[in-house]
Amino acid sequence: MSVGFKAGLEDVVAATSAICTVDGKAGQLRYRGYDIGDLVESASFEEVIYLLWFADLPRADALAQFTRDLSAAREVPPPVLAAMGTYPRHVHPLEALRTAVSLHAMYDPDAHDNSPEANLRKSVRLTAQTATLVAAWRRIREGKPVVAPDPARSHAANFLWMLSGAEPDAESIEAMDDVLVLHAEHELNASTFAARVAVATVSDLHSAVVAALGTLKGPRHGGANEDVLAMLQEIGTPDRAEPYVRSRLEALSRMSRADRADPKHRIPGFGHRVYKVDDPRAARLRAIGRRLAERAGVLDLAETAEATYRVMHAETSLPVNVDFFSAVIYHALGIPIDLCTSVFAVSRIPGWCAHIMEQYADNRLIRPRAEYTGPEPRSFVRLAARR
């Protein structure tokens, strides 16, 4: 067997894709050829979803129709909401979401239809309703009534509305829209790869999204934004960032390799498999976070993040990743710490759906090989003869 084993499939090309490019050395990210900076500056989340699914920017009439279709699909099936009411209140929001999406499949009329048309309809429904599910779980676990989606609002505005039941202001809506655009897609990240592996068996779209959600949850992937916020709160004030980071790095330098690999010993929000320089999304998120934090009167957290970032740059060559400054934004928007990864899911679902549809369009089973490191062939020993 000729297998060039690469731990973690580092740099291994595992698919062809026309959706997104990540240049880790130059720090560039493009969706369908468009630079992420231009997209976040000028395109709405709805426009970006259209771009990801239909490979080109929509004209005004197509965008208006697509936006109407998305916003009309926001209501979740009532039995799914009812079931969420029975979940134990302590469950993590991403677990609640994962279970709700799995249940959602049982009420989707296209659940077992893998045709391109059905996959598009399911993508519309799941993209629209993931936001509803995340917001609903927040309300349910706090013992508050679920806020019904409002089809007259944009995806970002409606999400904020459903989360809090209060009228969101223009700046918060713009920030949420930017966050959704910036997180919408990122090539073969772990959760997207999991989704593609699932559909390569000709499983269904919901199952692939459930696989992606389960993969996003981990602290090496989407779960890191919650760890960032916890760390910034632990640091507390900007002046404490330097001693905090130094002492953690110093402790890391004395650990075994296995201990260094443990997420709880790492500095969340730093390091990346592909980026060798700062993630291009981080600068945008940093600016948005600072603006929102100032306005919300939580500037200390933003400044603690800035100070932590400066020390990490001075002390290590680790690039800052997307999860670091996004945590500041979520905090300033009043989003509870354990909901941060679910907000990531709300933004990433169109990317997952784009890859799922691309995989179906040219599908072959994804079945790699393992380099065997176990015992040589040996004779079986019957139970009675074993010592």
Ligand X SMILES: CC(C)(COP(=O)(O)OP(=O)(O)OC[C@H]1O[C@@H](n2cnc3c(N)ncnc32)[C@H](O)[C@@H]1OP(=O)(O)O)[C@@H](O)C(=O)NCCC(=O)NCCS
Q: Is 272 a catalytic residue?
A: yes
Contact track, ligand X, 44-63, x by CB under 6 A: --------------------
149 binds ligand X (CB under 6 A): no
Task: Show contacts with ligand X in window 319-348 (CB under 6 A).
Answer: 321-323
Nearer to ligand X, 200 or 252 (CB): 252
Least distance between ligand X and beta carbon 189 (Å): 8
Contact track, ligand X, 223-242, x by CB under 6 A: -x------------------
Angle, CA of 227, 229 and 233, to the nearest 5°: 115
Sign for the CA dihedral angle at 82, 78, 71, 280 comes to positive
- Report the side by side order of strands in the sheet with 28-31: 20-23, 28-31, 34-35
Contact track, ligand X, 284-323, x by CB under 6 A: ----------------------------------x--xxx
Q: Using an 8 Å Cβ cutoff, are 84 and 96 in contact?
A: yes
281 binds ligand X (CB under 6 A): no
- Binding ligand X (rule: CB under 6 A), the pick from 92, 139, 273, 291 is 273
Size of residue set near ligand X by CB under 6 A: 20
Q: Using an 8 Å Cβ cutoff, are 136 and 119 in contact?
A: no
Give the count of alpha carbons within 13 A of 319, CB side only: 18
Nearer to ligand X, 123 or 341 (CB): 341
Least distance between ligand X and beta carbon 336 (Å): 20
Task: Show contacts with ligand X in window 11-40 (CB under 6 A).
Answer: none
Q: Using an 8 Å Cβ cutoff, are 139 and 145 in contact?
A: yes
Q: Is 104 a catalytic residue?
A: no
Nearer to ligand X, 321 or 359 (CB): 321
Instruction: Please state, in angstroms and rounded to a whole number, the distance separating the CA atoms of residues 208 and 196.
Output: 7
Given the rule CB under 6 A, which of 118-126, 199-207, 266-274, 325-333 is the region that contacts ligand X? 266-274
Contact track, ligand X, 69-88, x by CB under 6 A: --------------------
Task: Show contacts with ligand X in window 161-220 (CB under 6 A).
Answer: 220
Distances (CA, A) of 117 to 45, 122, 129, 360: 22, 9, 18, 12
Q: Which of 177, 323, 331, 355 is catalytic?
A: 323
Least distance between ligand X and beta carbon 248 (Å): 8
> Residue holding tokens 């239809």?
113
271 binds ligand X (CB under 6 A): yes
Instruction: Please state, in angstroms and rounded to a whole number, the distance separating the CA atoms of residues 8 and 188.
Output: 12
Least distance between ligand X and beta carbon 309 (Å): 12
The H or E element that residue 132 is part of is: helix 116-141
- Binding ligand X (rule: CB under 6 A), the pick from 93, 269, 289, 350 is 269
- Binding ligand X (rule: CB under 6 A), the pick from 139, 272, 291, 295 is 272
Chain-centre distance of CA 112, in angstroms? 25
Q: What is the DSSP string of 3-53?
A: ----GGGTT------SSEEEETTTTEEEETTEEHHHHHHH--HHHHHHHHH
Instruction: Please state, in angstroms and rounded to a whole number, the distance separating the CA atoms of residues 62 and 347.
Output: 21
Residues binding ligand X (CB under 6 A): 8, 220, 224, 252, 257, 260-261, 263, 266-273, 318, 321-323
The residues annotated as belonging to the active site are: 272, 323
